[in-house]
Amino acid sequence: MATDTPDASEASGDLETSGDTVAGRPAGGPPRQLRMTDVKRLNRVWRRQTEGRLALLLDSVSQPFNVGSIVRTAAAFGVESVWLCGITPDLDLPAVGKTALGTDRFLSAYREPSPAQAAKEAAADGFRVVAVELASGAVPLFEAPLDGDICLAIGNEDHGCSPALLGAVSSAAYIPQVGRVGSLNVAVAAAIALAEVRRREWSSSP
């Protein structure tokens, strides 16, 4: 179910689930879109299965619409902090808000000009900093060390992560691609990486 107005409120009660399948579907009937109250309950079920902390470091992600899209996805996956580095615009910029749709209120944003310094700050706060980048020594995202508390470092739309940032992260991972196009939009790449971090945690839950 899609909505253009994110809502942080929760409904009382729990949505019945069976494994990873939403229950309540009529026997033999087709899937149906969930009501908003059911979506909120379903999200609460997943929140109870989520313990790992998640953060982002944006290294000169320059386009406001990309930053806003990343912020909205980050809020959906429970990111708690985002470091804004280099020329990354502030989250209160109106152009960012057009795609963030107010979801920046769920994140703590820190302005740090140096991405390498931001990586050090994230590490000092207990995060393993992993760059999402096609770089020497990078491993496929599905093999990356993504357990525990993770800060994903996302680079500029054209130039990627800066050399200084790559020298400060604990590891780097890339998203395998098999098509003839060799790159992804930065907001899409961030979404894939965030989803993989959560998927890894959820798949290892008892």
Residue pLDDT, tens place only, 64-118: 999 999 999 999 999 999 999 999 999 999 999 999 999 999 999 999 999 999 9
pLDDT bin (cut points 50, 70, 90) of residue 205 is low
Domain 59-203 has CATH 1.20.58.220: no
pLDDT bin (cut points 50, 70, 90) of residue 24 is low
CB 80 within 8 A of CB 54: yes
pLDDT bin (cut points 50, 70, 90) of residue 61 is very high
CB 131 within 8 A of CB 172: yes
Q: Is 171 exposed, middle or buried (0-12, 13-18, 19+ CB in 10 A)?
A: middle
Q: Is 135 exposed, middle or buried (0-12, 13-18, 19+ CB in 10 A)?
A: middle
Residue of 188, 189, 186, 193 lying closest to 61 (CA atoms):
186
* Residue-level pLDDT at 9: 42
CB 116 within 8 A of CB 89: no
